[in-house]
Chains A and B, each alone.
Chain A
């Protein structure tokens, strides 16, 4: 029985209950994520991190949330009130929505009903996630615009440009997964990886591109240009305070959890146990799979923290250049390769053809890189000896610089 058929039998009350559970998981994992991030970052910087509120400071983010909620809610005089209020709601709601199609367990028993811990299973599940997170960008750009202030506007434009650019690369990296799984449904993609190599092995370049793009997509360090404090104060949420700011905060972390969950689903076999530990999936009536799921999500979340602790923020132009000139072409070429290999496989070509194709690819790549190196070397060569230009230039090797005193002296004579 497929997941779609399984979920199709859910009665209405169970769907509502699962929606509530997903919501609670999102909020709680945000609270935990903030705490974990602060603790782990602190450890990476030889600090302790929050350890006052509750055991090990576990309630720190909860108390921060309560504090935020009790703060004065300021709406600037220049702000467009309706949009100013709607923006954080859009941003937060869309992040939660993307969680609806993430499968967190296999077949389990929930309140006496056979079901899976997944709110709904769309045949275009991953596309739905991309669409919903794109709508989340509206929250960012509208927040920046409606604040009626310069820095939020710049920050909003930056993050929307960033999210849109990296979404292209992200979408392209997913194409290879779709081709391999033969489906866009999250549960189908997980099933295609079950009893098979995980996509992280088969489609490693896609995985790398996805991980880079997901960091860009969520506006996180080292791609957190939208809130570059030194340039833009707080970015798009500069003018926000109190609960509205908390909503943006929530949206950021739910988004991180969502893209991590998607990465786990698409590349790490979702809720399935790692190879060799398949027997654990039957534990607790199938509920144990949720442990594997969150373990995988946490691996990605750790990558987020590790990047943040290690890398400095990129310059905006370098960042955009990287997205458009490196990630997108590379993923396009990779899709071509995957598609060709897939077709060769499906046509039942002998193994030698596949090997020959792979060797040919390697040769082309080597030739391209050596050509690239040669052109690079050429551009580093000094300029040819030539006439001095008519305008003053600093002295350079191979060019005799313009001598202002003799030139103007000649003219006057």
Chain B
């Protein structure tokens, strides 16, 4: 009668005894002097430069491509680049972005072309700063800044609205809504043919 706890008798299975015993060279504790070297490490560190950054007073610059707060960019004449396509919201793995698009009308032209982002919210309590939204954006409307100070005291304050995310108006830009550059269509905008606002665009919508 064979015992039930017998190991499997298989010709191919490796037997423990078939494996050669190799002695591994294990270095023992070092000499007393070797061990005492650590004391010099800690002592000499006293005279080295600190690595501490006095944060609120001194802000160390981030890496160039650091993933910080998002920004909604504008075209050179001030029209928004966002076309309300929601691709960023669909790409977001954390479901942090909410977009609602709306039609541009001649009275209310927010972006070149047919549509613009009417509501744009990013919930920074959910955002993981992965940057997939930036990759998904077809018009380069959404990019990330290097801003990392995103702490606040309430949940509501950490849901950033469109006006919190929009890039500021620079020189030569006009605040939308205003008509598109005369003689230019949305493809021209996309190709970067518009470099500044035209005087006829002033005074808001037609």
Contact = CB atoms under 8 A, between A and B. Distances in A.
Contacts of B38: 310-311
Interface residues of A, number: 24
B6 interface: yes
B104 to A, nearest CB: 53
Contacts of A409: 6, 9
A394 B21 CA distance: 10
Interface string B20-34: 010100000000000
A2 interface: no
A45 interface: yes
B163 to A, nearest CB: 36
A306 B39 contact: yes
A44 B45 contact: yes
B23 to A, nearest CB: 7
B39 A46 contact: no
Given A306-B39, A397-B21, A45 B6 contact: no
Contact of B21 (A40, A44, A396, A408): A396
A401 interface: yes
A392 to B, nearest CB: 9
B191 interface: no
A298 to B, nearest CB: 15
A151 to B, nearest CB: 30
A249 to B, nearest CB: 24
Nearest to A309: B42
Interface stretch (B47-55, B106-114, B128-136): B47-55
B17 A45 contact: no
A403 B23 contact: no
A412 B19 CA distance: 27
B153 interface: no
A234 B19 CA distance: 47
B7 interface: yes
B50 A306 contact: no
Contacts of B2: 408, 412
A405 interface: yes
A306 B41 CA distance: 10
A43 B52 contact: no
A403 B46 CA distance: 59
Contacts of A408: 2-3, 6
Contacts of A45: 45
Contacts, number: 58
B130 to A, nearest CB: 32
A113 interface: no
Contact of A412 (B1, B23, B51, B54): B1
A310 to B, nearest CB: 5
A395 B6 CA distance: 19
Contacts of B7: 404-405
Interface in A364-413: 394-397, 400-401, 403-405, 408-409, 411-412
A309 B41 CA distance: 10
Contact of B46 (A44, A397, A411): A44
Contacts of B6: 404-405, 408-409
Contacts of B45: 43-46
A403 B17 contact: yes
B47 to A, nearest CB: 8
A48 B38 CA distance: 21
B39 A47 contact: no
B51 A43 contact: no
A310 B39 contact: yes
Given A306-B39, A412-B1, A401 B17 contact: yes
Interface in B139-163: none
Contact of B16 (A47, A309, A401): A401
B17 A40 contact: no
Nearest to B1: A412
Contacts of A403: 15, 17
B52 A395 contact: no
A400 B9 CA distance: 20
A395 B17 contact: yes
Contact of B9 (A40, A397, A405): A405
B3 A40 contact: no
**9 pairs of A and B residues whose beta carbons are closest in the complex:** A48-B52, A309-B42, A44-B42, A43-B46, A310-B42, A46-B51, A310-B38, A44-B45, A47-B52
Interface of B: 1-3, 6-7, 9, 15-17, 19, 21, 23, 38-39, 41-43, 45-46, 48-52, 54
Given A46-B49, A408-B6, 8 more contacts: A43-B46, A46-B45, A46-B48, A310-B41, A395-B21, A397-B23, A401-B16, A405-B7
